[in-house]
Amino acid sequence: MIPLAPLGVDHILGGAFVTMRRYAKPLFGLALAGVVVLAALTLGLQVLVYHSTKDQMDRMSAAPRSIDPSDLRAVLITFGFVWAVGMLVSLVASSFIQASSAATLHDAVLGRRVPLGAVWKRAWSRTPSVLGVTLLMGVFIAIPMALFALMFFGLMMAASNGEPFVPAGLAFLLLLLSVPLTLWLLVRFSFAPAAAVLEGASPLTALRRSARLVRGAWWRTFGITLLGGLIAFIVAIVVNVPLRFAMPTPQPYTASTQTSVSMSEVYVQMLPDLGPALVLSAIAGVFVQLFFMVFMPLLSGLLYIDQRIRREGLADVLMRAAGTGTPGGPETPGGPAAPGGPQAPGSVH
């Protein structure tokens, strides 16, 4: 799949596409399973919200000028709970897909067959660690954004007192500092999910491993990741633009009477024209989402392997593993990678 040597940009990008082609079943199969489960749970949560707040919403819509505070409180609590559960489920699904991509790379770098069951088992066992990495990264990234939000709030308070100039300047300066800092943190910790899966590392250990491997290669990692994101964006355009031109123009709605009609009646009349296009658009959207969710973790995983080849002599280890047929990949025997040097092929976690 890739040369067992320091990788160039063409090897990294080409390796990601080759992996998607050769190992489409474990990659896209598990990603699709994660998306389907997420969609089913999201739909279930929406149904739960509807049935839980139907009476309150009916009373609030019937008397919008005199809303009962207890009804409003019940609706807000229900929506807040469902939103929190939905976000957690979404993070778990995203972490599982990232873990499955890294788990596929575990054997794909040696060109070995990757059974779907083995990838599932390995990915699911490492999903909590990847989820921990995601949550910790979210906390680290939220800090500069929270500082900017506090400064913006201070700007609004000062503006109300007629002194907007100094707070506005400070808020603008903080914005200029928070955006690069957030981007720097994202790139610095971009190898953490791969380290959590391929080395069996805990979330904090994976973050430290990522920071150590990215040190001295931040711009290279950022550039290749940005190029990968641009490729994913181009794929989305190539898929979606033809559908936009192919989508039929709906016929104008003609009411049979002069009375007002509901939007549902309008949609029913337009459905024969828009129905097929909406189905194709939904399929294209799922394809683009799956491509992005698989391609970007593969890119980060290959960048992680490249850095270990350059710094820790991983190529020699992989060559020995490929030559002797010993099971393993870019990990250590029996636990997380040692930070200091080359690693031996380990057992499959």
DSSP for 130-144, please give it.
HHHHHHHHHHHHHHH
pTM of the model: 0.77
pLDDT score recorded for residue 349: 32
**Domain coordinates of the chain in residue numbers?**
9-126+217-251+264-324
Helix (H, G, I), strand (E, B) or coil at 82: helix
Where are the alpha helices (H) located in 63-108, listed in sequence order? 69-108
Question: 185: which strand partners?
Answer: none
pLDDT in tens, the chain (349 residues): 778 788 899 999 999 999 999 999 999 999 998 888 888 888 888 788 877 787 777 777 776 666 777 777 888 888 888 888 888 888 998 999 999 999 999 888 888 888 888 899 999 999 999 999 999 998 888 877 777 777 667 666 666 665 555 555 666 666 677 778 889 999 999 999 999 999 999 999 999 999 999 999 999 999 999 999 999 999 988 887 777 776 655 555 455 544 444 555 555 555 555 556 667 777 778 888 889 999 999 999 999 999 999 998 888 888 877 665 555 566 643 333 433 343 433 333 3
What are residue 335's DSSP bridge partners? Answer: 332
d(CA 295, CA 36): 18
CA 119 vs CA 64, 79, 82, 98, 124: distances in Å: 53, 36, 31, 12, 8
